[in-house]
């Protein structure tokens, strides 16, 4: 990299003030207000820890994608799950044209969910099943086949949806706690909740001021919805209101700018909280775009199947049935926890059935604060499972170690394939 060292130093010298400002974003009036709300959601945690009262299991997966000399890709995926007296392993491979990272990800996640379902009955009532990643992210996967995706992407997506809806139902029926843990997250649900509160308060202030014409007040009241659906279009509305009403629209303008900036929750936690602790859980549902996709699919399953999932029309009944099942899935309760004062916060997602609540994912429009919800038992157990920055959860660390596909495994895996399939010719850049 040394060949750019001098020009990089010149650039940083010219732009240092801007970069430092972006790192800290000090003196940002609205951000400080958002941070204040984040601080109120933060609960300090003492040094106590305790064992989970039931059995514990963990699931993770691995994948490897190899480019073939014919322009396609050979995908190998694995999933591994275990509890104290049981383990389950699955592996699957596929050949797809063209190569697709989306396909690899969904194929691996489908296997992980299938293995997780195997563990449910082994864990029993009050068992705890840990997944790596974001349960909210899995439920938020859009029912759309991306451009240039392999031809059977839509079919794989339907299989994935079936696995996750069945997992949530079986976990609830068997009274098994389900928790996913993300060690890296760009989520903004806590920020969105803070913006929602600030917007409500500001809308009420403007309504009581009687300065706005009725149609403009209506624009302010619906602004947040429009900002999350079509931010640039909504920002044009804000500029019009600012030009018309001046300084009294300052807070509304700041809200609109913050939605465009997309400050992640980890920024708020870094700058406005400290020490070991956790945030009170918030209830999460789908984005407005995801809600639109599902509504369109349910109202016109034939057209949606062909146009958006790129599947044959005969899949349309299956599409409607599976997506209707997804619309009855549990809402997600999500929170952050910092288990060591030197570490980054982890994001934890779980279905609300864990907490004895009954809310569907699609019944939640904006993040909602869950009052009088006790998650101390889970927090103290996660603390007991914490090792260090690398081993953030001993169970998931072990599942990852056993499921991960390493480069040194490649030769053996190719030999297994070639014994059954014949020569597998890789591209010049195979990985």
Residue 308 has pLDDT above 80, yes or no: yes
What is the share, in percent, of the chain residues with pLDDT greater than 90? Answer: 75
> In b/e form, how buried is each residue of 327-345, taking b as 16+ CB within 10 angstroms?
bebbbbbbbbbbbeeeebb
Tens-place pLDDT, residues 72-92: 898 999 999 999 889 999 999
Q: What is the pLDDT of residue 70?
A: 87
Residue 327 has pLDDT above 80, yes or no: yes
Residue 362 has pLDDT above 70, yes or no: yes
34 pLDDT tier (thresholds 50, 70, 90): very high
Tens-place pLDDT, residues 257-300: 999 888 999 999 999 999 999 999 999 999 999 999 999 999 99
Q: What is the pLDDT of residue 430?
A: 54
| Mean pLDDT value across residues 18-46 | 85
The answer to whether the CB of 265 falls within 8 A of the CB of 190 is yes
How far apart are the C-alpha atoms of 316 and 41, rounded to whole Å? Answer: 44
Q: Output the six-digit token pair for 390.
A: 């690398």
Q: What is the pLDDT of residue 408?
A: 78
| Mean pLDDT value across residues 315-327 | 96
**Full DSSP string of 298-316:** HH-HHHHHHHTS---GGGH
Tens-place pLDDT, residues 190-221: 999 999 999 999 999 999 999 999 999 999 99
Residue 46 has pLDDT above 90, yes or no: no
How far apart are the C-alpha atoms of 431 and 415, rounded to whole Å? Answer: 17
The answer to whether the CB of 126 falls within 8 A of the CB of 54 is yes
The model carries a pTM of: 0.91
How far apart are the C-alpha atoms of 322 and 318, rounded to whole Å? Answer: 6
Q: From the centroid of its chain, how far is CA 355?
A: 20
Residue 27 has pLDDT above 70, yes or no: no
């Amino acid at each position: 990299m040394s060949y750019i060292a001098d020009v990089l130093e010149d650039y940083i010298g010219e732009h240092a003030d801007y970069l430092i400002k972006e790192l800290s974003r000090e003196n940002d009036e609205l951000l400080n207000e958002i941070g204040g709300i984040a601080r109120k959601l933060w609960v300090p945690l003492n040094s106590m820890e305790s064992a989970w009262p039931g059995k514990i299991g963990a699931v993770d997966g691995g994948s490897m994608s190899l480019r073939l000399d014919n322009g396609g890709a050979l995908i190998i995926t694995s999933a591994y799950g275990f509890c104290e007296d049981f383990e389950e392993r699955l592996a699957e491979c596929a050949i797809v044209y063209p190569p697709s990272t989306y396909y690899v990800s969904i194929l691996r996640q489908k296997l992980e969910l299938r293995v997780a379902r195997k563990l449910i009955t082994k864990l029993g009532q009050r068992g705890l099943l840990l997944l790596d990643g974001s349960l909210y992210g899995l439920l938020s996967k859009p029912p759309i086949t991306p451009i240039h995706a392999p031809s059977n992407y839509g079919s794989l997506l339907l299989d994935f949806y079936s696995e996750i809806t069945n997992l949530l139902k079986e976990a609830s029926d068997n009274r098994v706690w389900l928790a996913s843990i993300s060690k890296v997250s760009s989520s903004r649900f806590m920020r969105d909740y803070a913006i929602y509160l600030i917007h409500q308060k500001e809308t009420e202030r403007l309504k009581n001021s009687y300065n706005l014409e009725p149609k403009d007040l209506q624009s302010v009241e619906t602004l947040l919805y429009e900002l999350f659906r079509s931010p640039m279009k909504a920002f044009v509305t804000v500029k019009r209101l600012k030009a018309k009403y001046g300084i009294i629209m300052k807070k509304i303008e700041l809200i609109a700018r913050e939605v465009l900036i997309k400050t992640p929750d980890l920024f708020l936690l870094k700058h406005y909280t400290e020490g070991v602790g956790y945030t009170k859980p918030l209830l999460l549902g789908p984005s407005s775009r995801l809600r639109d996709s599902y509504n369109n699919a349910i109202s016109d399953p034939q057209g949606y199947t062909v146009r958006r999932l790129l599947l044959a029309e005969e899949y349309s009944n299956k599409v409607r049935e599976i997506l209707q099942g997804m619309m009855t899935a549990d809402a997600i309760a999500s929170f952050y926890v910092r288990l060591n004062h030197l570490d980054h916060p982890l994001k934890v997602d779980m279905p609300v059935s864990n907490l004895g609540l009954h809310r569907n994912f699609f019944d939640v429009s904006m993040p909602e604060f869950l009052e009088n919800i006790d998650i101390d038992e889970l927090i103290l157990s996660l603390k007991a499972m914490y090792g260090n920055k690398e081993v953030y959860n001993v169970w998931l660390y072990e599942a990852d170690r056993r499921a991960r596909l390493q480069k040194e495994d490649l030769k053996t895996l190719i030999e297994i394939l070639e014994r059954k399939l014949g020569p597998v010719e890789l591209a010049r850049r195979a990985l």
